[in-house]
Chains A and B, each alone.
Chain A
Amino acid sequence: AQTVTQSQPEMSVQEAETVTLSCTYDTSENNYYLFWYKQPPSRQMILVIRQEAYKQQNATENRFSVNFQKAAKSFSLKISDSQLGDTAMYFCAFMRGAGTASKLTFGTGTRLQVTL
């Protein structure tokens, strides 16, 4: 079974600064995908960024980028130029590459507060 660990329950960052959220995972699979989802207060969960394990290049989406270290089984999320709207719970998630069910295994989440 896969496990996903987020060791930072809460983090705080000032507006315009950069913050990195940590995620580690454990799996014996070689083909898999990793995701970061964002859940703003009282709003729906949305996808932030995804990474295919077979790709060495780190994924980037505007101010969001990942540092994917496959050997270390680490998948951190970097948010640059933080904005107040980035305040949310952030969940790291793992998906096996085999099969078609697209099931996700989530970490316990990191609550990020962006302050003025």
Chain B
Amino acid sequence: DVKVTQSSRYLVKRTGEKVFLECVQDMDHENMFWYRQDPGLGLRLIYFSYDVKMKEKGDIPEGYSVSREKKERFSLILESASTNQTSMYLCASSAWGGGPYEQYFGPGTRLTVT
């Protein structure tokens, strides 16, 4: 059974803290993605990675960074958390290639910044 896991389901942090969200997949997928999900806005891509140590900005990268040191793990970093980063964060992975490959999603991390 394919699986994408995220380190926390719920997280509460204070403004200015450095926050790490971890994502692990066990499908040997090349591509990994970080989205944030907000009511009325759908899912918006923050960053993605198509290989170890490779990353590209998505649609809303400001205030975020990522790290991919191992193929199975993709981390999202909030260098200095702000209240407008309160959101649901979803990680996903997919196979590499030009086909319509399915993205497999993790359960999400609901982050609250106070």
Cross-chain contact A9 with B42 (CB below 8 angstroms): no
- What string of 1s and 0s marks CB contacts (under 8 Å) between B90-108 and chain A? 1010111110111101111
Q: A44-B107, A103-B33, A104-B103 are in contact. Are A98 and B43 (CB under 8 A)?
A: no
Cross-chain contact B42 with A107 (CB below 8 angstroms): yes
Determine the main DSSP class of A at the interface with B: loop
Taking a contact as CB atoms closer than 8 A, the residue among A52, A100, A109 that contacts B50 in the complex is A100
Chain A's closest residue to B92 (CB) is: A45
A68 at the interface (CB under 8 A from B): no
Chain A residues lying within 8 Å of B44, measured Cβ to Cβ, are 106
Chain B's closest residue to A95 (CB) is: B100
Cross-chain contact A44 with B98 (CB below 8 angstroms): no
- What string of 1s and 0s marks CB contacts (under 8 Å) between A85-100 and chain B? 0000001000101111
Max chain A Cβ within 10 angstroms of own Cβ: one of B42, B92, B97, B102: B42
* 19 A-B pairs in the complex with CB atoms less than 8 angstroms apart: A4-B42, A45-B105, A47-B102, A50-B100, A91-B43, A98-B98, A100-B96, A101-B31, A102-B31, A102-B96, A102-B97, A102-B101, A102-B103, A103-B45, A103-B58, A104-B33, A104-B103, A107-B42, A108-B42
